Amino acid sequence: MEYPTSNKRLIDWVEEVAKLARPSSIYFCDGSKEEFDQLAQLLVEKGTFRKLSDVKRPNSYWAHSDPRDVARVEDRTFICSTEEIDAGPTNNWRDPSEMKQTMNGLYAGSMEGRTMYVIPFSMGPLGSPFSKIGIQLTDSPYVVTNMRIMAKMGTSVLEQLGDDGDFIHCIHSVGSPLAQGQSDVAWPCDPDNIYISHFPETREIWSYGSGYGGNALLGKKCLALRIASATARDEGWLAEHMLLLKLTSPKGQVHYVTGSFPSACGKTNLAMLEPSLEGWKVETLGDDICWLRLGEDGRLYGVNPEAGFFGVAPGTSYETNANAMRTITHDTIFTNTALTVDGDVWWEGMDGDRPDNLTDWKGESYDPTSGKPASHPNARFTVSAGQAPQIAEEWQDPAGVPISAMLFGGRRRSLVPLVAESRDWDHGVFLGSTMASETTAAAVGAVGNLRRDPFAMLPFCGYNMGDYFAHWLSFGEKENVNLPKIYMVNWFRKDANNRFIWPGYGENARVLAWIVARLEGEAEGIEGPYGVVPKVQDIADDNLGISDEQLSELFHVDGTELANEVDAIGGHFDTFGDRLPAKLLRQLEILKTYI
């Protein structure tokens, strides 16, 4: 065939994979709107997509997956480093040679009867020093349509790659070959043989068996976090599971803020915040991933490597995240939500009453008496970030934006204050390394169990997390740097009646306002176990509707709880053995002095 590139490395690899997987044809994606529309129509004809009403949701589609293929599968996600210790205790490790042998056996003939799509994509603005080019080979047109939204994709990326440029190799197959004359299914997959394998030393991603989300959209968690985190360690930067926002004060002061939060801790809501405080403005640069590099001025600069939002639909409403709802009014792909009779989508937590006569996320008539949700808890929307009404104009700036503050947060009913400023960089890294969240009903495990999720990177760090902590600490050892201030936040303190004390949502702007005041040298604080906390009068006024007693409770640190926390952190650190940096143990000793 005639290729739209003269990059021999790419051509040879495409031919090598095609020889193994034996697709019926090869197609290089150009990333055009015409191509998207043609593939969307193909998916409609296959039964994968259903076109939504152009009155209710213009240029949008609804899909539902195989019920066995609905989310990331952490137990089938592997880091295949040469040495097991380099994957570390928090990752599933496999020997790279053995894994490739296993997966080559699965890939053999896996694309028979299907087209192999070649997706050239860039994570980050084209030509930016931040950005990385990947090539994904896939037999899923559903993946192509989603990748066009989530990354820069197509001919322009091939042109950037040039004749001799290198790229991250990404192979994906749903694992469902078609014999001649065999009818296809709406959602092909092989749920009994799922592998999402990462080879950090050779910068490769091999995925098989799943067609869903981060298992199949390989630019997202696989490249932008697992492979990128290992690359960042080698090249001296950071690839993080972080939101990125622009905060403008009533005085016109602009600060760029990142934030790491585990699942169900309000990260997307904060990224798209509508502040309750008059005169404050929040604009979004990214809701999920941030890549950070040191600039010549010694500051950390951040960029969102993604081009779209892959958001969880259930719980999203005009009350919780109005900007997200405005973003998904058109040109959106919805997966595993419910479907209304008038050609729109619905999910639990959406504004208004549940409509009658829904089609549930499995494509079946929904029975309201079943007690089951109509949409899957992990139902998603895929939408271009560029159509968000609150997107910052510099969100694709190839130079990135200078970061003033970093937030680390979890879901803790007590102990951790509403907000605390770290004493220095090492202490901030300590706070990030000990992040924890109490599980919710939607999470694995019993409700209320504490799960450590350092930097919200537990499922996404592509190498030994002890080495990851050391990499973070290394930035504080560099000369002539002006690093961001680090803050721990906790929106989820509860009172004796198990009710949330802090109202959250738009009122979180009060915390951001105090942080800005600290950055500008305009606010005092009180030293405590977690660092400097606000004076309550600096965080609240009569309009907040919280008593002085409740405000004090937001910052109270119980000595017995703190002692238990110190013991728990010690056990957490033991996990990393001799790979744990000594600086973190010294920070733990400092915390003990507050018991």
Q: Could you give the CA distance from residue 384 to residue 388 in angstroms, rounded to a whole number? A: 8
Question: Could you give phi then psi for residue 581, rounded to 5 degrees?
Answer: -65, 140
Q: Which of 254, 285, 484, 476 is nearest to 399 (CA)?
A: 285
**What does 323-355 look like in DSSP terms, one character per residue?**
HHHHHTTSSEEEES-EE-TTS-EE-TT-SSPPP
Q: How far is CA 212 from CA 41, 53, 159, 222, in A?
A: 19, 24, 29, 13
Give the containing element (helix H, strand E) for 96: helix 96-107
Q: Of the listed 29, 222, 265, 290, which one is catalytic?
A: 265
Is the separation of the CB atoms in 380 and 308 below 8 Å? no
Q: Are strands 25-28 and 115-123 parallel, antiparallel or unpaired?
A: parallel
Spatial separation of the C-alpha atoms in residues 358 and 339, rounded to whole Å: 6
In degrees and rounded to multiples of 5, residue 497 shows phi and psi of -95, 15
DSSP, residue by residue, 260-327 = E--TTSSHHHHHT---SSTT-EEEEEESS-EEEEE-TTS-EEEE---SEEEEE-TT--HHHHHHHHHH
175 closest CA partner among 144, 219, 207, 205: 207
29 among known catalytic residues: no
- Helix (H), strand (E) at residue 62: strand 61-63
Structure tokens belonging to residue 526: 């009180």
Calculate Rg over the CA atoms of the chain: 24
Rounded Cα distance between 593 and 584, Å, is: 15
Catalytic residues: 265
